[in-house]
Amino acid sequence: MKEIYFHICAIPLFTMILIVCYSRKMTKGNANRLFLAMTVLSLISTVADLIMVILSYQLPLTDAERLLDEVLGYVYLSLHNLTNVVILLFLLSLTRMTSLIQKKRIKFVISLPYVLIVAFLIQNIFTHTIFSVTSEAGYARGVLMPMIYIMAALYGIGGLGYCIYSKRFLAKNKWVSLLCMYLLSYFAVAVQFFKPKLLLEMFCNGLGIMGVMLSVMRPEERMDSMVGMESWKSYREDLRNILRSGEQVAIVVIRLPNSREILSFLGEHKYNDYVSEIGNALRALPWNHPNHVELYFERPGTIYLIVDKDEKEMESIGDRLYAELGIRLQEYAANGVRFEPQVCLIRCPDDLKKAEDIISLGHMFYTFDSGRENTFQAKELVSSRVFAIRSHMEEILKRAIQEQNIVMHYQPIYDVRTGCFHSAEALARIVDPEFGLISPGIFIPASEELGLIVHIGDEVLEQVFRFISEHDLEALGLEYIEINLSVAQCMQSVLPEKIRHLQQKYNVDPRHVNLEITETTFENISEVVMENVHELIRMGYTFALDDYGIGYSSIQRVNHFPLKLIKIDKSMLDEVSSRNGRMILEHTVHMMRSIEKQLVVEGAETRVAVDLLKKMDCDYIQGYYFSRPLPAEDFVRFLEEHK
């Protein structure tokens, strides 16, 4: 009896694995399904084998027992060998090599040994050359049984070989546990070879599968369980594997605009429900290959779908989603949440081949102009100059810093009271040898993300201080030059030292410099930022608040911080054509005056706008109406001509 103890232990082991899989909702997706399949197959084969062994203790068999034994023989041999195939498929699916299986030749190679096993089993019904069951001797192996072992060995060797090969695609701990699964099964087969009565194999398989479940099948690592979709991290991982395998897929990026606002409006809990409803609706669309649709979610609000490249009607996915969500959308709309997804279609590897490019396109596609509102085709976007620049941003920035490709332009600022130009803003541009002139609207946010802004900022400071030292500002009619400081610069404790150094190097009077900071600087307020600001003020520098009116501008902050000047963002001026917009601007001007802050309004492009601002009694105006930002020499010439 002792030899069946391991078999008996294997049954609760497999059962437990299944229970854990279901309770952790590991039932969707290819890898999960294959994992479940291999566990279920192992469980059934173990039970079949166990009953067969028990029957062998009570020879001779009755007719019914004999029949049962024979049926179980077929069940065991067919399912146990099928498990080997499923394990191999599971490995392929984990490494996203599923495209391999779709190739006819590979399909043939993978399935051939198993087809032969099935053929052998079928012929066994008539010949009993694989196994036979008699009531006296019970189950007995036949002369062709070694053929089955050879086929099984092919899967074992092939699987182990692929497992070793896949080391490069898998995280180390995952790879080790997959390897252990194979090695344990080899160990059990070896033991059984020498001690055929010690039925160790199924138990060892169970241990192997358990190990894989613990370190490979970790939904908490892959899933965003709050919305029932896979995580952004898994998207990146899968994307890389897909591109490496050469599999052709389509990627649909669905961005929910204003997701941050919707999140704070609905609250975390309801927002998650909202997103998972969209996810469910996406899954419910009539896909040609529903098993090939994987959903991923990136917070706060982007859904990625990886689907079969042959899926039709992808262009209309936004509309189809509307139709699927139907009535639910009306409920959300009634509560103030409008569903206006922006969709981008990327065909891989036709449109893009590099994972980094696909990821970055997913993050910025909506900033391009699309012909069809809200639906973007990667094919069209990737040929644009802006995309080329953005996808080479790091290289461009590093080159700009090393080769000093940053040039400063200066935009004059008009003084309403005197009717003269009274100051100017220094605005950075990159002149790249490959991509030409690049605007700061593109490279400043990118350099902030890439952690290169401080280097850019240092170069800007250097150039502007040099400009001031080389020109007689007062003779040009200028009181000061404004320099934009980014948050990261303000958080450097060495900032005042850097500026003191430049001041001495170029012999610059601090009154000739006005430093522009934005409200985000205050949001990141730390001791260092405040100390820097106060130290620079002690040194004689002044500060302006840039971009007032974007985001959550707060008059409290304006009042509390030592600001000489407030710069009203262009977006506020753009609204003056409406009655409310005009009132808002008027009141803002009035309010700033009453708390004794000087005011610059940015973005005046027309005579009408300038006249209006003059009438509103604001101090200074900056805009294309007077001049665009100009290269240093042109700027000086411009001032001399307009003195």
Interface ranges with ligand C2E (CB under 6 A)? 411, 427-428, 439-441, 444, 457, 460, 484, 486, 546-547, 570, 602-605, 622-624, 629
208 vs 440 by CB, closer to ligand C2E: 440
Site for Mg ion in 546-565 (CB under 5 A): 546-547
Answer whether the bond into residue 510 is a cis peptide, omega within 30°. Answer: no
Site for Mg ion in 30-59 (CB under 5 A): none
Given ligand C2E, Mg ion, none, residue 222, with its beta carbon under 5 to 8 Å by kind, binds: none
Distance, in Å, from the CA atom of 180 to the CA atom of 208, rounded to the nearest integer, reads: 6
CB of 486 to ligand C2E, least distance (A): 4
Stretch that binds Mg ion, among 322-330, 396-404, 433-441, 544-552 (CB under 5 A): 544-552
36 vs 544 by CB, closer to Mg ion: 544
Site for Mg ion in 426-445 (CB under 5 A): none
247 vs 547 by CB, closer to ligand C2E: 547
CB of 593 to ligand C2E, least distance (A): 21
Given Mg ion, ligand C2E, none, residue 277, with its beta carbon under 5 to 8 Å by kind, binds: none
- Pairing status of strand 565-568 against strand 598-602: parallel
Q: What is the DSSP string of 191-217?
A: HHHH-TT---HHHHHHHHHHHHHHHT-
Can you tell me which residue has the tokens 């900033």?
367
321 vs 483 by CB, closer to ligand C2E: 483
Report how many residues bind Mg ion under the rule CB under 5 A.
Answer: 4
CB of 323 to Mg ion, least distance (A): 43
Are 301 and 256 in contact, with CB atoms under 8 Å apart? Answer: yes
- Interface map 471-500 toward Mg ion (x if CB under 5 A): -------------x----------------
Given Mg ion, ligand C2E, none, residue 255, with its beta carbon under 5 to 8 Å by kind, binds: none
Within 13 Å and on the Cβ side, how many CA atoms surround 508? 30
49 vs 602 by CB, closer to Mg ion: 602
166 vs 484 by CB, closer to Mg ion: 484
Are 27 and 33 in contact, with CB atoms under 8 Å apart? Answer: yes
**Measured CA distances, 176 to 2, 39, 610 (Å):** 32, 19, 70
Given ligand C2E, Mg ion, none, residue 70, with its beta carbon under 5 to 8 Å by kind, binds: none
Q: Which alpha helices (H) appear in 392-493, and where do they start and end?
A: 393-403, 440-449, 453-470, 473-476, 487-490
Q: Which alpha helices (H) appear in 247-354, and where do they start and end?
A: 259-266, 268-284, 317-325, 327-334
Q: Which of 432, 459, 516, 519 is in the footprint of Mg ion by CB under 5 A?
A: 516
CB of 622 to ligand C2E, least distance (A): 6
574 vs 586 by CB, closer to ligand C2E: 574
Stretch that binds Mg ion, among 220-228, 299-307, 545-553, 590-598 (CB under 5 A): 545-553
Burial of 389 (0-12, 13-18, 19+ CB in 10 A): buried
CB of 546 to ligand C2E, least distance (A): 5
Distance, in Å, from the CA atom of 247 to the CA atom of 546, rounded to the nearest integer, reads: 48
Given Mg ion, ligand C2E, none, residue 237, with its beta carbon under 5 to 8 Å by kind, binds: none
CB of 573 to ligand C2E, least distance (A): 9
Measured in Å, how far apart are the chain's first and last C-alpha atoms? 108
Within 13 Å and on the Cβ side, how many CA atoms surround 490? 25
Residues in the chain: 643
Stretch that binds Mg ion, among 116-124, 161-169, 430-438, 508-516 (CB under 5 A): 508-516
**Measured CA distances, 123 to 15, 71, 119 (Å):** 33, 14, 6
| Phi, psi (degrees; rounded to nearest 5) at 521 | -60, -40
Given ligand C2E, Mg ion, none, residue 202, with its beta carbon under 5 to 8 Å by kind, binds: none
CB of 612 to Mg ion, least distance (A): 19
Tokens of 5: 């103890």
CB of 261 to ligand C2E, least distance (A): 22
Widest Cα–Cα separation across the chain = 118
For residue 616, which of 573, 574, 578, 567 has the smallest C-alpha distance? 573
SS3 428: strand
Can you tell me which residue has the tokens 């509102």?
373
61 vs 515 by CB, closer to ligand C2E: 515
29 vs 457 by CB, closer to ligand C2E: 457
CB of 430 to ligand C2E, least distance (A): 10
CB of 592 to ligand C2E, least distance (A): 17
204 vs 428 by CB, closer to ligand C2E: 428
Q: What is the DSSP string of 286-316?
A: --SSGGG-EEEEETTTEEEEEEETT---GGG
CB of 471 to ligand C2E, least distance (A): 18
Residues that bind Mg ion in the complex, under the rule CB under 5 A: 484, 516, 546-547
